[in-house]
Chain A
Amino acid sequence: MNHQRRTLLKASMATGTVAVAVAAGLLTPQVVLAAWPKAAFNAETMDGTLKALFGSKQPTASSDVQVEAPDIAENGAVVSFTVKTSIPNAEQIFILVPKNPSALSASYILSPDTDGFITGRIKMAKTSDVIAIVKAGNKLHMAKKNVKVTLGGCGG
């Protein structure tokens, strides 16, 4: 019997279904690739974002998480930050800015090999806290740093 042909037929049928679904607008590319937290990115308030990300779970302040950012940012379009954490099983790091048009800026999914260290650059509309939330197991650890912005960088 021709098993290979059978498998190939099945495979091509499966990809065909996905392609049709994408074409029909049933699946956006983001949904296919990974769970991009659309509701959280669109939430306008800090509470709404936290709810969209973690449900009813509340993050607790922790000294195992450190946020480094400038005290004063002259240009809100480019604010560099560094998040360090000593929590061994950190799975995901979220960067939130409560006073931006939408609070969630970025999230990083770590592998077990990845160190608790992330540097990046975000935009800030005005003076605000930069909050880092580290998800480890079932717990949420939080740390924040206030950054004074003299020129906002979120457009408008």
Chain B
Amino acid sequence: MSQKKMKIRAWVTNNHATVKAIIFHPMETGLRKDKATGKTIPAHYITEVTCTHNGKSVLTCLWGPRVSKNPFISFRFKNAKQGDTLKISWVDNQGESDALEAKIS
């Protein structure tokens, strides 16, 4: 897919990094119906997001279908400095996945 699936912003203030990220994903609950055909749209949602800082896990999100479409997430962690690598990867219930790396500024 050529469309960008994720955006990450990360910056450091006083040794603490703030991360803001958005993942472009439909997050279908499996309850919604297609108005044209009357068929239920199958559930399609992210189940797990892993955030690593220089290869070390800082946050793991376990999500259900009740997380909003194009989920946004923000968190903070300590012992970070400029130029460190932050990697966010996700897996959804249909086996799709993606990952993106960003440098902390």
On chain A, the residues within 8 Å of B71 by CB distance are: 120-121
Q: Is B66 a contact partner of A119 (Cβ separation < 8 A)?
A: no
Q: Is B64 a contact partner of A104 (Cβ separation < 8 A)?
A: yes
On chain B, the residues within 8 Å of A65 by CB distance are: none
From A36, A78, A121, A156, contact of B48 by CB (8 A): A36
On chain B, the residues within 8 Å of A153 by CB distance are: 68
**How many Å lie between the Cα of A108 and that of B57 in the bound state?**
12
Question: With A80-B72, A115-B78, A155-B31 given, is the CB distance from A123 to B48 under 8 Å?
Answer: no
Q: What band does the interface of chain A fall in when counting residues whose beta carbon is under 8 Å from B?
A: 35 or more
Q: How many A-B residue pairs have CB under 8 A?
A: 114
Question: With A105-B67, A120-B74, A122-B68 given, is the CB distance from A113 to B62 under 8 Å?
Answer: no
**How many Å lie between the Cα of A117 and that of B73 in the bound state?**
11
Closest to A37 in B: B62
Q: Is A102 a contact partner of B31 (Cβ separation < 8 A)?
A: no
Question: With A30-B47, A36-B48, A113-B78 given, is the CB distance from A102 to B64 under 8 Å?
Answer: yes
On chain A, the residues within 8 Å of B62 by CB distance are: 34, 36-37, 106-109
A111-B59, A154-B29 known; 20 other A-B pairs, CB under 8 Å? A29-B91, A41-B65, A100-B66, A101-B29, A102-B65, A104-B66, A108-B59, A108-B75, A114-B75, A115-B16, A117-B74, A117-B75, A119-B73, A120-B67, A120-B72, A120-B73, A121-B67, A121-B68, A122-B68, A155-B31
Chain B interface residue count, Cβ-Cβ cutoff 8 angstroms: 34
Q: Is A119 a contact partner of B61 (Cβ separation < 8 A)?
A: no
Closest to B28 in A: A155
Q: Cβ of B32 < 8 Å from any Cβ of A?
A: yes
Q: Is A113 a contact partner of B31 (Cβ separation < 8 A)?
A: no
On chain A, the residues within 8 Å of B63 by CB distance are: 105-107
Chain B contacts with A in 80-99, Cβ cutoff 8 A: 91, 93, 95
Closest to A103 in B: B66
Q: Cβ of A46 < 8 Å from any Cβ of B?
A: no
Q: Cβ of A97 < 8 Å from any Cβ of B?
A: yes
